[in-house]
Amino acid sequence: MKLNVCGGCNAKIAAGSLEKILESIDVFNRKEILEGFSGNEDAAVIKLSDEIAVVLTADFFPPMVEDGFIFGEIAAANALSDVYAMGAEPVAALNLVCFPEDEDKAILEDILKGGASKLKEAEVALVGGHSIHDPKIKYGLCVLGVVNPDKIYKNNTSKIGDMLVLTKPLGVGLLSSGMSVGEIHAEDFKAAVASMRTLNKYALEIIKNYAVRALTDVTGFGLIGHLSEMVHETAIINTKDIKVLQGAKKAASEFLFTAGGQRNRNSFESLVDFQINDFAMEEILFDPQTSGGLLISVAKEDAKKLCEDLVGNAIDASIIGEIVPKENKKIIVR
């Protein structure tokens, strides 16, 4: 039985709306909390000792593919990614499940098996979870990881002169949306699915060998949104160097937009100086990515070797730009 496709990270609440709500919450802060939601980090970090901190995150969403097992894999890879983006090793996970009471339970079994399969690949223990009845299927994980407190990667510590490296091509949101209305070639969508199923574990293992200044993953807020959190001064990105999944730009040019992409444009467009005459490419840069790649701010002298190392290990990485002294906008697109 096929799933009703309606989600992935395209279902994420708009950044502007979320920020206003979170600012209104009175939060109790414990001294052990090194990172919470106030810094827009990918996951929380709780210090246990001088050598050990735990990293905690949760992520779930509605299906973006029709196959339950593959949906489970993608949702698990996406949730694990927030731990990898902090430079941590995920060790345990809890299932988060919303499932209609009258739906075929074989679908739920497929979803959970898919998630468990990806956790096994990541060498992460599934230790329990929570499930409720809900009119719409949703699935994801709460993930716990470990890291040395002195070796945490943050998303906002880039420096002038750094180069920007992206480890996966863009466009999965546009392709998922287009596929749901039958306007995308099956082979193009197959490539998007392969990208979403790929763990960022393998990229992180390589990244740790280089002078990484800042790290995040590109998910629901698109490349522009997540890059805006990384940059204090200005980032220049070169569209000719950004890898895009086949069919995604065509989907954008045919106005197969995602709701999440339009929310991202509304939230982040004022931060960007588009020096290109290419509306379809703009849409790709705002496109929500489900289980997207890692965005790395790395010392200039390490960038080329890092990218070569990633590509040599079958990771579709490219150098997409650099951090420069402050100009008129936070992000310049050329």
- The domain 162-333 is placed in CATH, from the list 2.40.50.100, 3.90.650.10, 3.30.70.141, 2.40.260.10, at 3.90.650.10
pTM equals 0.93
Q: Are 35 and 41 in contact (CB under 8 A)?
A: yes
331-333/234-237 β-pairing = parallel
d(Cα 127, Cα 76) in Å, to the nearest integer?
14
pLDDT (tens, 9 = 90+) of the chain, 334 residues, equals 566 555 555 566 666 667 778 778 888 889 999 987 766 777 999 999 999 999 999 999 999 899 999 999 999 999 999 999 999 999 999 999 999 999 999 999 999 999 999 999 999 999 999 999 999 999 999 999 999 999 999 999 999 999 999 999 999 999 988 887 778 899 999 999 999 999 999 999 999 999 999 999 999 999 999 999 999 999 999 999 999 999 999 999 988 878 889 999 999 999 999 999 999 999 999 999 999 999 999 999 999 999 999 999 999 999 999 999 999 999 999 9
Q: Shortest CA distance to 92 belongs to which of 124, 45, 114, 121?
A: 124
User: Quick one: 8-147 is in which CATH superfamily?
Assistant: PurM-like, N-terminal domain (3.30.1330.10)
pLDDT at 6: 57
Per annotation, catalytic residue among 6, 9, 98, 307:
9
Q: Is 270 left (phi over 0), alpha (psi -120 to 50) or beta?
A: alpha
Label residues 303-312 b or e (16+ Cβ within 10 Å = b).
beebbebbee
The angle formed by the CA atoms of residues 107, 108 and 114, to the nearest 5 degrees, is: 90
For residue 21, report the phi and psi dihedrals to the nearest 5 degrees: -65, -45
Residue 9 is among the residues annotated as catalytic for this protein: yes
pLDDT at 36: 79
Structure tokens at 43: 């996951």
Beta bridge partners of 107: none
Q: Are 82 and 43 in contact (CB under 8 A)?
A: yes
Q: Where are the domains of the chain?
A: 8-147, 162-333
331-333/272-274 β-pairing = parallel
Q: What is the edge-to-edge ordering of all strands in the sheet holding 53-61? A: 33-35, 44-47, 53-61, 138-147, 89-99, 125-133
